[in-house]
Chain A
């Protein structure tokens, strides 16, 4: 008999947080599904870190709930073994060695101390680095140490705030692979980042917030891949044909058009029926950065007007 591992969706439901008169989060609601990597995006000060802190019971919400697998963080049977967390890039005592930092966490959570060296190896910190005081670490090494702490108990949920910050290209690549592997195992992964190009390459879903409010949430392709690029020697003729079928067509080069409103199959079939040769037919991935700025600027302007 196969026993399925429990899954842990993250549910943020109507969360409002105020600091004095300032509303940091305003009825924020979204879900993070297991088995997928979810990017949590928003400008600085939009409320991403506050949301994560409320999810992890480090801050309290004025209204609403934030749960992990249906439980508040503090009510999970083994919270630190369920959720691996990277929050602050400098949450270390500078005079303590990297290894001792992890040993303290391992001891507090009842893990065997030898898990420390395994976690250090996973993130590529060698024993010489592990012996050194954290105050001598580069930002990238601190980020690796944070990741090692998050991975200590092989948790089924990862909540990572700006995990690529300070990592070198190899480190970013390793992290991407690690997150992909986790998601493939049915784990829940939530990462925030201001490096939108990095997020674009690794996430399945995105949640965009601005000024504490949800802007959009859903699969990344819904945001960036809703149009198709077609390269053909008969671009004008095909453009007319597709426009007649209800699509919006933009001529980007003499032999290239971008089509919105029809899927790839519909475009290919229409071209075939009309006897038009197609040299390229591909999803047109608009930059997430463009979408992000468009969405957040729109909500900021809306907020200013109201």
Chain B
């Protein structure tokens, strides 16, 4: 069997349940909320300065940080439920070299996360663009910047999904995996910054925003590497763990 067969099989796993539909529904709701905010929302002073410049609009549409979180949950659930439903047995029987099996799974989940990021940010851009005519401001973000925020959200989606999948594979329990992902992406970063202020530019949300072009805490290549590392560390721990754990 080839690795591409394994990846395709893992991708089929993701697309043959209702889970992706649930995540698409969440993305649609988030995009709709953005659209409503643009159409009827105001700043504290009643003005619409939050959409008055291209930078403001780009910041509003930058979806990478959201993609990181949403895809993180997607990856955590996708990986952990294999153990809950015991479908990991057929996975390991099909490919007993577990590092290959789990790598294929992470690639498929990462791809799924990238697609969620792409869809999420595209829906958000579309919702904002559709709502702006209800205001006095036009759509000011350039095509290249739109492309950048879509690309950044896709990258962040892939990174978050692999991060979540790594946690899910180690924890092997859906509830625990979701909790672990929230801890890593939401609760731990502020604590880390409190302990080491110099880490602030490297927390997931900060580097996601750098890739979207709405923050400049670090360089773009540095942010891309940072996103990759946030995904790779739990993934590598998971690959190490699955070699040693029995399927019980």
Contact = CB atoms under 8 A, between A and B. Distances in A.
A107 B89 contact: no
B2 interface: yes
B17 interface: yes
Contacts, number: 87
Contact of A104 (B1, B13, B86, B92): B13
Nearest to A146: B90
A49 B231 CA distance: 35
A59 B12 contact: no
A48 interface: no
A88 B86 contact: yes
Contacts of B89: 58, 85, 87-88, 91
A95 B18 contact: yes
Contacts of A107: 5, 8-9, 12
Chain A interface: which size bin? 20 to 34
B247 A58 contact: yes
Nearest to A17: B246
Contacts of B247: 53, 58-59
Interface string A33-62: 000000000000000000001001111100
Given A104-B9, A104-B16, A91 B94 contact: no
A95 B248 CA distance: 22
B148 interface: no
Interface in A76-119: 78-80, 83, 85, 87-88, 90-97, 100, 103-105, 107-110
B85 A93 contact: yes
A110 B93 contact: no
A80 B17 contact: no
Given A58-B246, A93-B17, A109 B85 contact: no
Nearest to A72: B96
Interface in B86-134: 86-87, 89-97
A83 B17 CA distance: 28
A73 interface: yes
A57 B9 contact: no
Given A103-B12, A108-B5, A108-B6, A92 B248 contact: no
B16 A100 contact: yes
A64 to B, nearest CB: 15
B1 A110 contact: yes
Contacts of A56: 93, 96
B17 A57 contact: no
Interface in B58-80: none
Given A73-B96, A96-B16, A97-B16, A91 B246 contact: no
A-B residue pairs, 8 tightest by C-beta: A108-B9, A59-B246, A91-B86, A74-B96, A108-B94, A107-B9, A100-B16, A58-B247
Interface of B: 1-2, 5-6, 8-10, 12-13, 16-19, 81, 85-87, 89-97, 246-248
Given A95-B19, A109-B94, 20 more contacts: A53-B246, A53-B247, A56-B93, A59-B248, A74-B97, A78-B1, A80-B93, A91-B85, A91-B89, A93-B17, A97-B16, A100-B12, A103-B12, A104-B9, A104-B90, A105-B90, A108-B1, A108-B5, A108-B9, A110-B2
12 contacts: A58-B92, A73-B96, A74-B96, A80-B93, A92-B85, A93-B13, A93-B17, A95-B18, A104-B90, A105-B90, A108-B1, A109-B94
